[in-house]
């Protein structure tokens, strides 16, 4: 460094930082060459995926719906309304009534759906869980069908029609053909599954050959199936002999699904069949070449077509299998739940509830299985809430609807619980490094 003073026209002193900048190479200790940022560990990545992934979103959507349902229960409770009238005088009374109404409702829901310790016999105590599984059995079957269609990029909302046709086919075989035990049941189940598959395949065929939208087609087929079955229930084809009511004869004992745990429970063999159906759908989607084609078409039908996949045939196959699975739910209804004869209301709204189950399960087989059990618990426990606490059954329907709402809005759930978004992970900030000290001209002049 020169000892001569620096004049305004003279050149500024050259420092290591400035020389490095001039040469284009990073200098030691400069921001450009700061310490490398350590990437997050694989455990941290897994944790972020878990808390921000689809499974956690589904769980938290249920939690939010239950909280919102609790608010509705409290608002509609008469005792809470009375206590709220003098809230500012004694606010504790209001909060006590809110707790009493909400906790009483959800305790009744648990006791009606899972376990009731108030009953004297153990068999009666565990009966609620068997009722939950009974309600869940057709929901899971229909949800698997709807979820399979979702994975192929199709919206199957024709569950009602497919269930009605399947129930009519299985019921007709059940009370018309008098076959040996075992054979009769298998033939009745196959008849129902084939009937539901054909009814769903019509929508797939129309979409593949004419481009008709499956939503419109399945809605129209729901009406066709309903009025067709209603008509057949007034004719000798399905109507009970000597009856004026639009109701079928009872199912032969050889075609009824046997009880799993004895006559004191309503749970039947259909639950084992639906477990097998869940395994089959999982294998089909994740381990078979046909399932690979289904998923490819669902992700991008144009790319699948370029890759040599016959997209039109995939639509037909998918709706055939989807209709067969939804039809299996109708088979369970007519051969397991209502064996004394069925009417046109045998579907019990399951065809539409299956859409909610498939959404909550993220169209994955085991997710649908768990979601079906959850909704089965809502159905079984909802009646207990209504009977013991006087809670309207509509509250349970509101909770189910809110689950769909939150499932359809993952950003809302992430915002409420401050969850990370796996699609847009935040990059870790680099630590700040102190800027290198550069001597000013005045300092150099002073030296």
- pLDDT at position 403, please? 81
CA distance 149 to 142: 11
Spell out the domain ranges in the chain.
Answer: 41-113+376-419, 137-363
CA angle 424/426/432 to nearest 5° reads: 155
Residue with the larger pLDDT of the pair 27 and 213 = 213
Min mean pLDDT across 41-55, 255-269, 294-308, 332-346 is at 41-55
Query: What is residue 262's three-state secondary structure?
Result: coil
Confidence at residue 159, expressed as pLDDT on a 0 to 100 scale = 93
pLDDT at 37 over 60: no
Task: List, as one string, the DSSP characters of 384-419.
Answer: HHHHHH---THHHHHHHHHHHHHHT-HHHHHHHHT-
Integer Cα distance of 147 and 157 in angstroms: 11
Count of alpha carbons within 13 Å of 300, Cβ hemisphere only?
A: 6
| 370, 176 Cβ separation under 8 angstroms | no
* Chain segment 106-122, per-residue pLDDT in tens: 998 899 899 988 888 88
Residues in the chain, total? 447
pLDDT score recorded for residue 440 = 58
Mean residue pLDDT of the chain comes to 84
Q: What is the 3-state secondary structure (H, E, C) of 421-436?
A: CCCCCCCCCCCCCCCC
pLDDT at 385: 85
| Banded pLDDT at 335 (limits 50, 70, 90) | very high
Q: Which of 120-124, 230-234, 283-287 has the lowest mean pLDDT?
A: 120-124
Residue-level pLDDT at 439: 57
Task: Provide the pLDDT for residue 444.
Answer: 58
**Can you name the residues that pair with 259 across neighbouring β-strands?**
268
pLDDT for position 281: 96
Q: What average pLDDT does range 65-80 have in this prediction?
A: 89
Yes or no: say if 165 and 191 are a contact pair by the CB < 8 Å rule: no
Residue 414: the pLDDT is: 80
Average of per-residue pLDDT across 327-331:
96
User: Is the predicted pLDDT of residue 53 greater than 70, yes or no?
Assistant: no
Calculate mean pLDDT across residues 259-284: 94
Cα 160 from chain centroid?
A: 18
Q: Which stretch of 221-230, 256-265, 300-309, 411-420 has the lowest confidence by average pLDDT?
A: 411-420
Question: How much is the pLDDT for 424?
Answer: 65
For residue 426, the model assigns a pLDDT of 59
Token code pair at residue 98: 């809110």
Provide mean pLDDT across the span 92-111: 91
Least confident of 319-333, 371-385, 426-440: 426-440
Q: Where are the alpha helices (DSSP H) in 253-361?
A: 270-287, 289-299, 301-306, 311-332, 350-360
Contact 193, 166 (CB under 8 A): yes
| pLDDT at 60 (0 to 100) | 86
Burial of 226 (0-12, 13-18, 19+ CB in 10 A): middle
**Is the per-residue pLDDT at 6 higher than 50?**
no
Give the pLDDT band of residue 11 (cuts 50, 70, 90).
very low
Model confidence pLDDT, tens digit, residues 137-188: 999 999 999 999 999 999 999 999 999 999 999 999 999 998 999 999 999 9
d(CA 371, CA 191): 27
Q: How far, CA to CA in Å, does 252 sit from each of 161, 226, 416?
A: 24, 24, 54
Banded model confidence at residue 447, pLDDT cuts 50, 70, 90: low
Q: Which residue has the higher pLDDT, 44 or 126?
A: 126
pLDDT above 70 for 380: yes
Tell me: pLDDT of 15 over 60. Answer: no
Helices (H) then strands (E): counts for the chain: 19, 0
Is the full-model pTM beyond 0.85? no
* Cα–Cα dist 60/406, whole Å: 9
How many other CB atoms sit within 10 Å of the CB of residue 158?
32
Q: What token pair was written down for 112?
A: 């009606």
pLDDT of residue 40: 58
Closest CA to 141 of 286, 7, 272, 298: 272
Structure tokens at 34: 């700061």
Tell me the mean pLDDT in the region 194-200. Answer: 96
Q: How confident is the model at residue 32 (pLDDT cuts 50, 70, 90)?
A: very low
């Amino acid at each position: 460094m020169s000892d001569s003073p620096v004049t305004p026209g003279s050149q500024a002193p050259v420092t290591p930082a400035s020389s490095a900048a001039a040469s284009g190479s990073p200098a030691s200790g400069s921001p450009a060459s700061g310490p490398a940022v350590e990437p997050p560990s694989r455990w941290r990545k897994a944790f972020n995926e878990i808390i921000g992934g689809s499974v956690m979103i589904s769980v938290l959507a249920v939690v939010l719906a239950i909280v919102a349902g609790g608010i509705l229960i409290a608002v509609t409770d008469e005792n809470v309304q009375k206590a709220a009238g003098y809230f500012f005088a004694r606010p504790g009374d209001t909060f006590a009534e809110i707790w009493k109404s909400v906790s009483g409702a959800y305790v009744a829901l648990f006791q009606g759906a899972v376990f009731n310790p108030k009953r004297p016999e153990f068999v009666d105590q565990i009966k609620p869980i068997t009722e939950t599984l009974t309600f869940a059995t057709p929901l899971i079957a229909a949800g698997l069908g709807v979820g399979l269609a979702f994975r192929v990029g199709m919206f199957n909302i024709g569950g009602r029609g497919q269930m009605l046709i399947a129930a009519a086919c299985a019921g007709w075989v059940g009370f018309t053909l008098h076959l040996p035990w075992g054979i009769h049941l298998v033939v009745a189940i196959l008849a129902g599954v084939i009937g539901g598959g054909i009814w769903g395949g019509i929508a797939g065929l129309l979409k593949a050959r004419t481009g008709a939208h499956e939503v419109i087609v399945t809605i129209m087929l729901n009406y066709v199936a309903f009025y067709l079955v209603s008509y057949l229930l007034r004719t000798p084809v399905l109507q009970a002999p000597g009856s004026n009511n639009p109701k079928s004869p009872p199912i032969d004992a050889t075609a009824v699904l046997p009880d799993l745990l004895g006559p004191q429970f309503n749970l039947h063999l259909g639950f084992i069949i639906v477990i097998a159906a869940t395994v089959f759908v999982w294998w089909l989607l994740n381990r078979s070449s046909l399932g690979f084609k289904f998923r490819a078409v669902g992700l991008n039908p144009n790319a699948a077509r370029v890759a040599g996949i016959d997209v039109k045939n995939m639509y037909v196959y998918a709706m055939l299998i989807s209709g067969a699975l939804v039809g299996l739910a109708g088979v369970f209804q007519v051969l397991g739940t209502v064996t004394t004869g069925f009417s046109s209301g045998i579907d019990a709204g399951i065809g539409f509830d299956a859409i909610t189950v498939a959404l909550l399960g993220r169209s994955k087989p085991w997710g649908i299985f768990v979601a079906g059990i959850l909704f089965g618990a809502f159905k079984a426990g909802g009646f207990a809430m209504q009977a013991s606490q006087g809670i309207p059954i509509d509250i349970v329907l509101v909770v189910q609807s809110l689950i769909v709402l939150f499932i359809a809005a993952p950003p809302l759930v992430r915002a409420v619980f401050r969850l990370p978004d796996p699609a847009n992970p935040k990059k870790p900030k680099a630590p700040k490094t102190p800027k290198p000290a550069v001597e000013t001209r005045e300092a150099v002049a002073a030296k």
